């Protein structure tokens, strides 16, 4: 949407936040306090950005609002960033816990969710917090989704990755139906963020390179697991958002999935063929073709969208794309989000830009534009500003949004 002063109402569909580690303690049940003190005393944070003097961007509400407004952004979807209690690393990347760790990890995630509810309440209508769950116990996960919805976390739920060998059912399993049912019933978006679902590869140079090559692919798997698994047929109101995984890959992957769907469904009717067993029951189980499922149920959090992704917007679905700044990460567009918007969207019809930079996110996450438009009229980028092509990249910009065209490809 454009605000009343011909400014865009910009909602970042991908930002990150979390508490400073000691500040999680009050959100833990008292039975965990002594154990938390012992754990926190020996925990060594492995992330430089969470040790820097700018780390408070994750939890300093006033600083965060001021910096986002200076960047032209009036509201945000808030994914996790800091280390929850009892986790070995950021929760997006942490391995699936075994039975010995499960209760502690649940306590840590619940502490984060309760901190996040208070953090979002400090800026009413401007933060859609994404609740965290574990998949080891589906009933517990569904109960936490109910708690999150009832306590103002409007960003939906973060779907953990299920790497191969994790010991829990794959995402296509009907074991997760109680969770999908609650999300559909309460209109809770299911978010799957890039970086999740990769197997543990170690820390050798080759392992780090392989991680970079494979990490987005492992994140993409949630799309075809839920689609072929029939989750959207059994729960038509279920919505899946794939965030910070790029968007340029989507048209090609949908074509590939449609190809396999058609091939396997056709083969199922020819029992004498070798492929017949692979397509048996597929049509009845999943219903529509994958591309139809995408357009009915799925969205993309297209963080720091690159210029070469924009021409694909009609194939992706202009009503599916939600721009994000990835604040406060180094790869995010802050403090050059206005320039990031220009390099991606200059020359496009304003109504298309308005949808991708804010209108779609408002619809998916329930932001109230009547509340946000007046703020955008004060701080949002003007339509004329974003229409002006960016001719000079800011010297200190670190986001891939500003990589020279042709050097970055989103798979």
- Domain span at residue 303 reads 10-402
Q: Report pLDDT for 5.
A: 53
Residues 354, 68: Cα–Cα separation, whole Å: 18
Question: Does a structural domain hold residue 322?
Answer: yes
Q: Around 136, how many Cα atoms within 13 Å sit in the side-chain half-sphere?
A: 15
The answer to whether residues 117 and 129 touch, using CB atoms and an 8 Å cutoff, is yes
Residues 200, 221: Cα–Cα separation, whole Å: 16
CA dist list (Å): 294 to 82, 239, 393, 407:
31, 9, 34, 28
The answer to whether residues 267 and 278 touch, using CB atoms and an 8 Å cutoff, is yes
Q: Report pLDDT for 2.
A: 55
SS3 of residue 157 by DSSP: strand
Q: CATH number of the domain that 377 lies in? A: 3.20.20.140
DSSP of 216-230 = HHHHHHHHHHHHHTT
Question: Does a structural domain hold residue 200?
Answer: yes
Residue corresponding to tokens 């609740």: 131
Question: Does a structural domain hold residue 203?
Answer: yes
Q: Report pLDDT for 87.
A: 94
**Phi then psi dihedrals of residue 298, to 5 deg:** -125, 155
Q: Taking Cα atoms as reference points, which of 181, 308, 204 lies closest to residue 247? A: 308
* pLDDT in 10s for each residue of the chain, 411 residues: 555 459 999 999 999 999 999 999 999 999 999 999 999 999 988 888 888 889 999 999 999 999 999 999 999 999 999 999 999 988 888 889 999 999 999 999 999 999 999 999 999 999 999 999 999 999 999 999 999 999 999 999 999 989 988 999 999 999 999 999 999 999 999 999 998 888 888 889 899 899 989 989 999 999 999 999 999 999 999 999 999 999 999 999 999 999 999 999 999 888 778 888 888 888 888 889 999 999 999 999 999 999 999 999 999 999 999 999 999 999 999 999 999 999 999 999 999 999 999 999 999 999 999 999 999 999 999 999 999 999 999 999 999 999 876 444 444
Q: Report pLDDT for 411.
A: 42
Residues 380, 395: Cα–Cα separation, whole Å: 23
Q: Residue 286, class by beta-carbon neighbours within 10 Å (0-12 exposed, 13-18 middle, 19+ buried)?
A: buried
Question: Does a structural domain hold residue 5?
Answer: no
Q: Give me 83's structure tokens.
A: 């280390």
Q: Taking Cα atoms as reference points, which of 307, 191, 310, 195 lies closest to residue 250? A: 310
Quick one: residue 307, left, alpha or beta (phi over 0 = left, psi -120 to 50 = alpha)? alpha
Please tell me whether the peptide bond between 206 and the residue prior to it is cis, using omega within 30 degrees of 0: no
Question: Does a structural domain hold residue 2?
Answer: no
Burial 369-389 (b: 16+ CB within 10 A, else e): beebbebbbebbbbbebbbee
Please tell me whether the peptide bond between 292 and the residue prior to it is cis, using omega within 30 degrees of 0: no
Residues 8, 195: Cα–Cα separation, whole Å: 30
Count structural domains, the chain. Answer: 1
Q: Give me 358's structure tokens.
A: 């804010």
Question: Does a structural domain hold residue 102?
Answer: yes
DSSP of 4-23 = TTSBB-EEEEEEEE---GGG
Strand ranges (E), 120-189:
127-129, 131-132, 157-158
Query: Quick one: CA dihedral 168, 170, 176, 180, positive or negative?
Result: positive
Question: Does a structural domain hold residue 407?
Answer: no
> pTM of this prediction?
0.95
Question: Does a structural domain hold residue 3?
Answer: no
């Amino acid at each position: 949407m454009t605000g009343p002063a011909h400014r865009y109402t910009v909602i970042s569909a991908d930002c990150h936040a979390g508490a400073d580690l000691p500040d999680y303690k009050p959100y833990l049940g008292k039975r965990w306090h002594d154990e938390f003190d012992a754990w926190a005393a020996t925990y060594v944070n492995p992330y430089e950005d969470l040790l820097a003097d700018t780390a408070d961007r994750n939890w300093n509400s006033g600083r965060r609002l001021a910096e986002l407004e200076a960047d032209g952004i009036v509201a945000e979807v808030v994914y996790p960033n800091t280390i929850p209690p009892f986790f070995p690393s950021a929760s997006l990347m942490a391995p699936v816990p075994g039975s010995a760790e499960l209760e502690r990890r649940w306590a840590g995630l619940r502490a984060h969710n309760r901190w996040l509810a208070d953090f979002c309440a400090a800026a009413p209508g401007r933060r859609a917090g994404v609740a965290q769950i574990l998949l080891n116990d589906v009933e517990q996960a569904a109960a936490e989704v109910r708690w999150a919805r009832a306590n103002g976390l409007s960003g939906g739920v973060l779907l953990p990755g299920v790497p191969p060998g994790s010991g829990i059912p794959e995402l296509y399993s009907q074991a997760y139906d109680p969770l999908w049912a609650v999300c559909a019933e309460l209109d809770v978006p299911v978010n799957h963020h890039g970086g999740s679902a990769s197997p543990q590869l170690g820390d050798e140079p080759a392992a780090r390179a392989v991680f970079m090559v494979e990490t987005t692919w492992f994140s993409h798997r949630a799309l075809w697991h839920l689609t072929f698994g029939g989750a959207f047929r059994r729960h038509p109101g279920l919505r899946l958002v794939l965030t910070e995984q790029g968007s340029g890959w989507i048209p090609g992957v949908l074509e590939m999935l449609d190809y396999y769907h058609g091939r396997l469904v056709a083969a199922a009717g020819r029992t004498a063929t070798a492929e017949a067993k692979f397509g048996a029951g597929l049509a009845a189980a999943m219903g529509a073709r994958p591309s139809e499922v995408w357009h009915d149920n799925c969205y993309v959090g297209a963080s720091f969208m690159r210029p070469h992704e924009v021409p694909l917007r009609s194939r992706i679905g202009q009503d599916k794309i939600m721009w994000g700044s990835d604040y406060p990460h180094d790869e995010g567009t802050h403090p050059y989000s206005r320039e990031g918007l220009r390099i991606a969207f200059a020359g496009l019809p304003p109504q298309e830009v308005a949808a991708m930079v804010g209108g779609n996110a408002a619809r998916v996450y329930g932001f109230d534009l009547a509340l946000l438009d007046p703020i955008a009229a004060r701080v949002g980028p003007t339509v004329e500003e974003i229409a002006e092509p960016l001719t000079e990249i800011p010297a200190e910009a670190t986001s891939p949004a500003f990589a020279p065209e042709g050097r970055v490809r989103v798979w």
